[in-house]
Every structure is written in C-alpha cells, then in structure tokens.
Structure 1
Amino acid sequence: MGFKHVMVKANGVEHHVVMAGSGPPIVCVHGFPEDWYSFRHQLSGLSDRFTVVSYDLRGIGKSDKPQRGYDVRTMAEDLVALVRALGLNKPAVLGHDWGGSIVPIAVYREPDMFSRMIIADAPLGRELRPLNSWYIWMINNLSPWIDRQLKRRDLFPHSIIRFWTWVENQHAFTEEDMNHYTETYFQEGTLEAWLSLYRSVWHGPSGKAYETSGEVVFSHPPVSVSWSAPIKPDIKIPTLLIWGEEDPALPVQLAYRLKRVWPEMELFVLPDCGHFPHEEKPEEFNRRLFDFLSPLLS
C-alpha cells in the first residue's frame, strides 16, 4: 500500500503507527474490533493533500500490551503523548467507535493541541445507555459465557463486522480485509485488551463502578462513559459528527440526540450505511471529510 510503518513510544507504550502523505496532519483513532487498518481508505484517499496518521491502540495489533491502562482516559493520554512524540502541529483528529470516545477527551484535556475534530459512530455520554447498546451489556453481564464466544475463530471478528455492516455494503470488506482483522483479533492479549476497555465503562479502570449521578465524559478529570449524564462539552474547535443511518450497534437516533445537546457540531448522516461509514462508504466519507478539513489547506 506504500504506507510508512513506525514504532513510537508515547505515554510509556510503544505504539504501531502508520503514516501516508504530506500536508496538514490528521490523526485517526480506531475502534472495536479493528486496528490501524480501519483507516486504510483515508490513508490512501486523503494522503495527496494531508498527512494521514493511523495507529494501533495500546493492547491492539503491533502496539505494546501492558497490564493496565485499558480505559478511554488513559488511551486519551496515549493520543496526546503520541501527537507530541510525532511532533505534529495542531492536527485534526478523527475517532471511530471507541476511538470516538477517546478523541474528545484528548481534545478537552489539550484544547490548543488540535485544529478540528471528527467523531464517527461512537459511544458518548447519556446518549448511549446500556439498553441502547445490548452488546456492551452482554460483555459486562454474561461473563464467562461471552468470553468463550468471543474467542471462537469461526464467529469472530468477521461476524461482528458483517452484522454491524449494512447488508448492501457487505462487499466493502474483502477476504483480505477479514483475514487482516482476524489475525489482529486473535493475537495474544488483544481480546483481553478489548474486554478490559468494555468493562472499564461499566466498572471503571479501578474495578469500582462509576457513580451515575453527575459524571460526564468531559468532566475534570474525564472518566470513561457515564450512562446517566448528558454530554456537556466545553470544546471550541470545529467538530463534525458522521453516522451511518442503519447502524445496528449505535442507532442513528443517538446522533440526533447528540446534535440537540451539541448544536454547534455539524452532523452528516450517511444513508444505506451501518456502523463503519469510513469503510462501507469510503468515497462519500472522504468527500465530506475533505470538505470539513479543506480550511486547513489555506
């Protein structure tokens, strides 16, 4: 593919980083059950005008797999440290799924570090409750049965990706793509990292359940996800929310609720699209992303 692969130490963890292109930087943060490869279409499609950076979260892919730190707060610290280690000047930042929960915490913590923010199909604040996300409930309440199921090579991760992809877009994931994700998913320690992240939402990184009376994603210090409090962001940079209209994991109604509590944010809904808009509809996704980032080129 012609991408540059490097290992970069950030926040005490060696991260596998993939880069392409030149121009204003944009850092991409992936979600479950994927890795840096999730943004292959952005690395190839935007690199003629932008420096596109994608990386493996701690515990995933070729990045280190430490014993601790599998919560969005720590992963936001990783992102901030990675931007510094790479010497990027005010990058835009894009997060999908759990990456979309990590990114706004990093932006909140370091408001002068980033130029623009893009969030795609991500769990955020009260707009995502356990009843709205059955799979998070299952991971936290059906152990050890769910752990055994998630380790079945005949089911995962391809069954998750297929189920969360709109039926008309199944062709978007080739056999090569599925083989890549399967290889990454079944690396030693990767599933444990994902399970730790999901369970930190429910119990907190310390194992103690979060209170649900007043915590918000953007409180100080930021926590993972609170099921009861709404998002109350104090984020000033331009923000774009992209959502697949047919997302079965995080229904598009969540995006409309987020827009109501965050009216300054731009919302772009992709029709006939599931949970992976950047992979299911890469051309449409990249066009909207390019339009949003184009002021950085002037």
Structure 2
Amino acid sequence: MTEPGTTAHAPDNPVRDLPLHDLAGFTHRWVDADGVRLHAVEGGRPDGPAVVLLAGFPQTWWAWRKVMPGLADRFHVVAIDLPGQGHSERPDGSYDTHTVAAYVHAAVRALGVPTYWLVAHDIGAWVAFSLALKYESRLHGLALLDAGIPGITLPDAVPTDPQAAWKTWHFVFHLVPDLPETLLTGREREYVGWFLDAKALAPGTFDDAETGHYAAALAADGGLPACLAYYRHAAASAQKNHEALEQRHLTVPVLGISSSHGSIPDMAASLSPWADNVTGTVVPDAGHFIPDEHPDAVTAALSNFLNGSD
C-alpha cells in the first residue's frame, strides 16, 4: 500500500495523478472487470461473509471509511469505486446502471467473492438496485441509503418549490450537454463543497481536506464527465429497471435507510412496490451523507440487518 496522501504508483492504477488515502487494516486493489479496471479497498475477515460497499456523487469509496472498521470484525469488507469514480477507470460508452452493474459484479467476482451483501448510497444505490435485478442469485441482501433511484425512488418531476428543489435541481443541470463541464471545470472544489455543506445537516461535517479529496477525484482524468454520465443515462437506467421488474420483483431482503433530513423521506416505502421483503430505518439528526454524519448508527443498522438475515 502507499502512504496516506501520496501519489499511487501501483501499475494497475488508471488514475495515478490522484493521491491515495489508506485505511488501517485495508488494502488497495485494482481488478479487471470485463475490460474496465476498478479500484477496490479490501479488509476484514477473509473467511467472513462478504459485504460490498458502493458510494455516490460526489464521493468515492472514502465515504465508507468510518463504517468499514466497524464491519471488519465479522465481515469480509470490500468498498469499490464505481467506473468514473475515485481511482477506477473512466471508460467510454454507456453509464446506465445495468451496464455499470455488470462491471461492478465482474469486479467482485475477480476478487474471488461468489456471494455477498450489497450496501450502497446515492448513485451507488442506483447501481446496486440494477445489480440486484441482474444478479439477485449472488446476493444475500441489499441495503440502500438515501437515493433517488431512476424509475424507482426518484420522483417523476423535479419540484419547483425552493424548499424542496435544492435537493434535486442538479439532476436536470447534469443532463444538459457540455454546459456543466464548461461551468465546473476548474471549479470542482466549489461545486463539491456546495453539495457536502448543503446536504449534510450539521455544519462542519466535512473538513477542507475531505472536500479537497472529493474535488480532486472529480477533476482527475475525466472524472467530471464520467460522473455526469450517470445522470445523462438515467432514463436508460429507469427503462431497463422497469423492463426487468416486468419479469419479477426482488425477493432478497432489502433494507432502506433514510435520514431525518435526507432526499428521500422513506426509502423503505419507496422500495416496497418493487421488492417482496423490505424493512426500513430512519437515522435521526442526519442529512443526505448518512455514513459521514452518523457512522455508528449506519454500522449498527447494517450489522442488525446482516446478522438478522443470516
């Protein structure tokens, strides 16, 4: 492993200009996921049940750093950067969540993990839901944290009431061709800082170093257009989700984790039309970034879900 804050020189790392951050007890790995190199951070019990973690916009695997140690005593913990995110490759082509889900599942297979629990937040949850539809037989269960999943938990229209619109306005902005890149290139730190500060309930949840880390990841080697591509392919993601759901609903246990001041008030209720076994919990005094704001509550909710569903 490299030292915290140093440049990554691993031969398989496709984003070498972006500093790596280490987490005690965990190892950086890069795997070939059907032709796309994805970055994984792996630790915990090698012989324990596997838990795969996916983060969302504008974060990286580092969003789980406060939760991963609490799961490591019992579980084999793997946090994966999505394509275009963090230290993973930024491939050309579609970023619809079924295409991306195939890459993520291939990465998990390449790590030697045959079956696993899947836990995801924000855009990570978009991918996780589609992955569950494609590879449900490989999952023990699915936990999704505060996410407007296209066609599933995302409202059909962006609200125009200013009291609500600030939570979802960026979905439309990100869809506009070229304009976000024109306005945001060179100003990634300001943009990322707005998301982290506005959507976390408690001021000061993210310090300057964390904001800088996520902004640098967005700016590195085409990270911005890659992350925007998830939004630009959201309609295709929604269509493929509904095509799959016409055949069957999810049957694995599903946990919806909401927060008192998040984007989706009740994840469990929003997911229940599409899954047969849904439970939910609400983390109080939290905004959108629940794993950063209340990691102990998230760890406890996940541990109860994983242990109770054995």
Same fold? TM cut 0.5: yes
Give the SS at the match of 2:84: coil
Q: TM-score, normalised by structure 2?
A: 0.81
1:127 is aligned, of 153, 159, 164, to: 153
C-alpha separation between the residues in 2 aligned to 1:233 and 1:270? 30
**Per-residue deviation, 1:256:** 3.6
Matched, 1:16 2:39: yes
Cα deviation, 1:203-257, whole Å, max 9, x if unaligned, reads x48xxxx8xxxx462423x8xxxxxxxx99611111100012202xx23156544
Matched, 1:44 2:69: yes
Letter in 2 for 1:73: H
2:17 corresponds to? none
Give the SS at the match of 2:252: coil
Q: Which runs of 5+ in 2 are unaligned?
A: 1-22, 160-167
1:158 is aligned, of 180, 193, 200, to: 193
C-alpha separation between the residues in 1 aligned to 2:302 and 2:247? 24
Q: Which runs of 5+ in 1 are unaligned?
A: 223-230
C-alpha separation between the residues in 1 aligned to 2:100 and 2:67? 22
* 8 Å CA contact retained: 2:189, 2:211: no
**Per-residue deviation, 1:282:** 0.3
Letter in 1 for 2:294: K
**Per-residue deviation, 1:290:** 0.6
1:217 corresponds to? 241
- What is the correspondence of 1:1-298 to structure 2 with a 5 Å cutoff? 1-2=23-24, 3-22=26-45, 23-124=48-149, 125-128=151-154, 129-132=156-159, 133-141=168-176, 143-151=177-185, 152-166=187-201, 168=202, 170-202=203-235, 204=236, 215=239, 217-220=241-244, 234-247=249-262, 250-252=263-265, 256-259=269-272, 262=275, 264-295=277-308
Give the SS at the match of 1:14: strand
**Per-residue deviation, 1:278:** 1.2
| Shift in alpha-carbon separation, 1:101–1:233, aligned structure 2, 3 A | farther
| Shift in alpha-carbon separation, 1:41–1:197, aligned structure 2, 3 A | same
Give the SS at the match of 1:41: coil
* Bigger RCO of structures 1 and 2 (CA < 8 A, at least 6 apart): 1
Give the SS at the match of 1:8: strand
* 8 Å CA contact retained: 1:111, 1:235: yes
Letter in 2 for 1:155: E
Aligned residues with identical type, % of pairs: 27
**Per-residue deviation, 1:26:** 0.2
C-alpha separation between the residues in 1 aligned to 2:218 and 2:267? 28
* 8 Å CA contact retained: 1:121, 1:243: yes
Q: TM-score, normalised by structure 1?
A: 0.84
**Per-residue deviation, 1:262:** 4.7
Give the SS at the match of 1:9: strand
* 8 Å CA contact retained: 2:250, 2:275: no
- RMSD of the TM alignment (CA)? 2.4
Letter in 2 for 1:150: L
Letter in 1 for 2:99: T
Letter in 2 for 1:178: T
1:225 corresponds to? none
- Alignment length (residue pairs): 274
